[in-house]
Structure 1
Amino acid sequence: MNSLFGLIGYPLGHSFSKRYFTEKFEQLGLQDSHAYTQFEIPSIDEFPALLATPDIKGFNVTIPYKQQIIPFLDEIDSAAARIGAVNTIKILPDGRTRGYNSDYFGFQGTLKAWSAFADFKSRKALVLGQGGAAKAVIAAIEDLGIPVIKVSRQAAEGIVSYNELPALMESIGLIVNTTPLGMHPNETACPPIPYELLTGQHYLYDIVYNPLETTFLKEGLAHGAGGIHTGIEMLYGQADKAWEIWQS
């Protein structure tokens, strides 16, 4: 073994990352030299000790440490700095650490590859939720030249509430759900947007991938939305970007 990678978070249950990278290493014939493990640490203060792990080359970072990890890193990629969250860490040859946000690249890549991109890129986008994932999604959309309207349960400076959405729907092309509403096991839940006002100009994207087709997406189709996009490709996209970062 000469290249070890791992996932940092707490708590850690069944991990997509461990399964994905273990399978990737096998597909690439790297299973004898590369491995992926989980580092379940109850405090981010334990991170520096992980850097002494033999053969460690990089980390993925998940809840609740995507923001807490930043002060512990030597360098931050410009996109990650703007987003304020890191989910991928590369250990440089000299031992320094550099943080990235591969969610940004994973989401943006799926948007550009979506056949509907030409239909909604000239309108505004609604981003539902204000968590760490929302910040990556907002940055990715804005960098494609699409104005973003931020939506949360309560209005604030620069953020509208769900109650204000009916007056905005005519200007909207893309609606992205970054909240956990609809995620297993609460699969019947969905964001309270005015589904009755959806038309063919509206395209719905849910970054939730379990279940693959959420109630948010089902309601969108039932009310005449132009199309939907599930979260699974973003999940794979961000993992592929992490691997690219580690190999660069």
Structure 2
Amino acid sequence: MASGFATWDVETSSSAVRSNATLLCTPLMGTTVDQMMIEMRKAKEIGADVVEIRLDCLRSFNPTEDLKALIKQSTLPTLVTYRPIWEGGQYEGDEEKRQDALRLAMEFGADYIDVELQVAYDFNQSIAGKKPDNFKVIVSSHNFHNTPSLEAIGNLVARIQATGADIVKIATTALDITDVARMFHITVHSQIPIIGIVMGEKGLISRLLTPKFGGYLTYGALEAGAISAPGQPTAKDLLDLYNFRLIKPDTKVYGIIGKPVYHSKSPLLFNESFKKLGLNAVYVHLLVDDVVKFFNAYSSPDFAGYSCTIPHKEVVLQCMDEIDHVAKKIAAVNNLVRKPDGKFKAYNTDYIGAISAIEDALRGTNGTIPSAVSPLAGKLFVILGAGGAGKSLAYGAKEKGARVVVANRTFERAVDLAGKVGGKALRLEEARYFHPEEGMILANCTSMGMKPKIDEAPITKDALKHYSLVFDAIYTPKDTRLLREARETGCIIVYGTEMLIRQGFEQWKNFTGLPAPEDLFRELMLRHS
């Protein structure tokens, strides 16, 4: 099967090489000049292109001395911002003094200054004929409430251009991830340099995919706790996790759809593998509320495939053009692939990953000794949870000859799933007292024990003594309370990370048409677990 992938040049696997001209700007949020100087050095070490000097963060500010020190001693190009409180900043003083400081920054050699649309026309008039060569004025507009219509954003761009801006900057707020699609449309068609940011967690891809859609610059924080706007990633994550330097207009986009989603380690596995193998692709986190709305908004062929996690594994079926025969039986999917004709086909790789991991643990192998008869044959296999993962495990266990029991908080869902696999249904609380025989298999497919609620467990420690093996689909944290207590009870345990890795092998094959880099996946998971 041909992969259909463009590849980067071999040397582009080096982090020092870039495939795009989009700048990475790191805001300096120190409250003193000395702190900002330290931050400047850190920004250069990380690999930023520009530093944004946020004058409004300084507790005390002497314009002449401080600007001269910050600009003249910076080893990176400087963008000076003095954001007033009425535009989301911290400055509350005299407006003329604020603008005087920005003009002084220009005189001292700043490469950029950022001025707000509300005052931009008069400000630009005041520096007309005085601008140094290569100095640029960014005129910005911030909307902390929503993202307007495509027409409204287009009109805003025209208004900003009319002030004499060298670079247009628009920052809106994402109420839904589909809001970002409108910003992408604006940036990719802009005739002048533009910075288009959609703030908030749901707007993350506006920052990650800036190079793909023609953005002039994006912002990356020095540290997670030092962001200058909601939803801002760290510079380190942009560069090392998402391969920001390697993203180009023709880069294929993959990602994980879910809610919550930022706990997922899939971007780490896929992006490092894309880079090592030279594939022109990126894999991102996608915080999605409404999958139908999402698929309607991102219809470009460059959005080439997705992993799918809770709570969308079932509802996303309605967006698919074709469903793999196994996934159709399970009625839940976790892998969505755009075919060459533009249509989407859905697969379920969860059941392969989980069941093979459980079988190998029972055999005491890592998959090296195949057997015609599954060690699950005849076993009583208790599944906690009747969602997408629970369906996958129920189907897989039945196919291997196990007797299936499904326990769920909503009993009707347990009854429905158990009926489809010829099993027995329980209420979740009943699973604590269910032990008709010894040596049973337990699979937790609920979210109980997932970060941040790591002290939870779906079943008591005392009940675990009736099981020979316990599997937990959760992988954040890797060692859940359930698995710790199962290990203490003497059970064989199987981590959710093993399911993640193995189902990832199948997803990689479906995405790329290439064999999965299994050793690399395992190395990465071990290194970052």
Residues 1:29 and 2:278 aligned together: yes
- 1:62-211 → structure 2 map (5 Å cutoff): 62-116=309-363, 121-153=377-409, 155=411, 157=415, 158-161=424-427, 162-163=429-430, 166=433, 168-170=435-437, 172-193=439-460, 195=462, 198=465, 202-211=468-477
Measure the CA separation in 2 of the matches of 1:56 and 1:197: 44
Residue matched to 2:493:
228
Residue matched to 2:299:
51
- 1:227-246 → structure 2 map (5 Å cutoff): 227-246=492-511
Does the CA contact (< 8 Å) of 1:9 and 1:65 recur in 2?
yes
- 1:9-20 → structure 2 map (5 Å cutoff): 9-10=258-259, 12-20=261-269
Letter in 2 for 1:130: A
Measure the CA separation in 1 of the matches of 2:357 and 2:450: 20
Displaced runs of 4 or more, over 6 A: none
* CA shift for structure 1 position 240: 1.6
C-alpha spacing 1:221/1:67, structure 2 compared with 1 (3 Å): same
How many residue pairs match? The answer is 243
Using CA pairs under 8 Å that are at least 6 residues apart, name the structure with larger relative contact order, 1 or 2. Answer: 1
Measure the CA separation in 1 of the matches of 2:461 and 2:408: 14
* CA shift for structure 1 position 100: 0.8
Gaps of 5+ in 2: 1-249, 365-373, 416-423, 514-529
Does the CA contact (< 8 Å) of 2:432 and 2:463 recur in 1?
no
Measure the CA separation in 2 of the matches of 1:194 and 1:14: 26
More displaced stretch, 236-245 vs 109-118: 109-118
* CA shift for structure 1 position 104: 1.6
Corresponding residue SS for 1:159: strand
Measure the CA separation in 2 of the matches of 1:50 and 1:242: 20
Corresponding residue SS for 1:242: helix
Larger radius of gyration: 2
CA RMSD of aligned residues (A): 2.5
Measure the CA separation in 2 of the matches of 1:196 and 1:10: 31
What is the TM-score with the length of structure 1 in the denominator? 0.85
Does the CA contact (< 8 Å) of 1:169 and 1:197 recur in 2?
no
C-alpha spacing 1:12/1:170, structure 2 compared with 1 (3 Å): closer
Corresponding residue SS for 1:211: coil
* CA shift for structure 1 position 172: 4.6
Measure the CA separation in 1 of the matches of 2:260 and 2:480: 24
Measure the CA separation in 2 of the matches of 1:40 and 1:112: 33
What is the TM-score with the length of structure 2 in the denominator? 0.42
Percent identical? 29
Does the CA contact (< 8 Å) of 1:121 and 1:173 recur in 2?
no
Measure the CA separation in 2 of the matches of 1:196 and 1:5: 41
